[in-house]
């Protein structure tokens, strides 16, 4: 079975590695939102390490990153507080944002 470029095979799942497009997206999100915080999510069976960015209003984005260390360095470089999501969880404002988006779509 051939795999799309940038994917690795882990057991029975495919995991796409992070790339420069992911980094550019994260940089754009930080530059165009205020009150952004970063939540570093650990590697799982189906996903590499990810960086979840959540703005002041709960708007969010998530992208794969090379490592947890890379994610914290990225956050520090951009003046964004960063946390280990496995320790602190996901912020309520993100769940509230998702609920508002779902209600608007109904």
| Two structure tokens written together for 58 | 């709960």
Please state the rounded mean pLDDT for residues 27-42.
98
Q: Using the Cα atoms of residue 82, residue 83, residue 89 and residue 92 in order, give the sign of their dihedral.
A: negative
Q: Is the pLDDT of residue 1 over 50?
A: no
Predicted TM-score (pTM) of the model is 0.82
What is residue 15's predicted lDDT score, i.e. its pLDDT? 54
pLDDT of residue 18: 73
The conformational region for residue 31 under phi > 0 = left, psi -120 to 50 = alpha, else beta, is: alpha
Distances in Å between the Cα of 47 and the Cα atoms of 20, 28, 30, 60 are 17, 22, 22, 18
pLDDT in tens, 72-93: 999 999 999 999 999 999 999 9
Higher-confidence position of 2 and 51: 51
HSE of 52, CA atoms in CB hemisphere, 13 A: 20
H/E segment holding residue 22: helix 20-32
């Amino acid at each position: 079975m051939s795999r799309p470029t940038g994917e690795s095979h882990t057991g029975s799942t495919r995991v796409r590695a992070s790339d420069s497009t992911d980094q550019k997206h994260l940089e754009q999100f930080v530059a165009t939102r205020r009150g952004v915080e970063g939540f570093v999510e650990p590697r799982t069976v189906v996903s590499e390490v990810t960086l979840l960015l959540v703005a002041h209003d709960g708007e969010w984005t998530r992208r794969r990153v090379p490592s947890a260390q890379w994610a914290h360095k990225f956050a520090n470089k951009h003046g964004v507080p960063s946390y280990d999501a496995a320790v602190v969880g996901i912020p309520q404002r993100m769940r509230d944002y998702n609920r508002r988006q779902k209600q608007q779509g109904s």
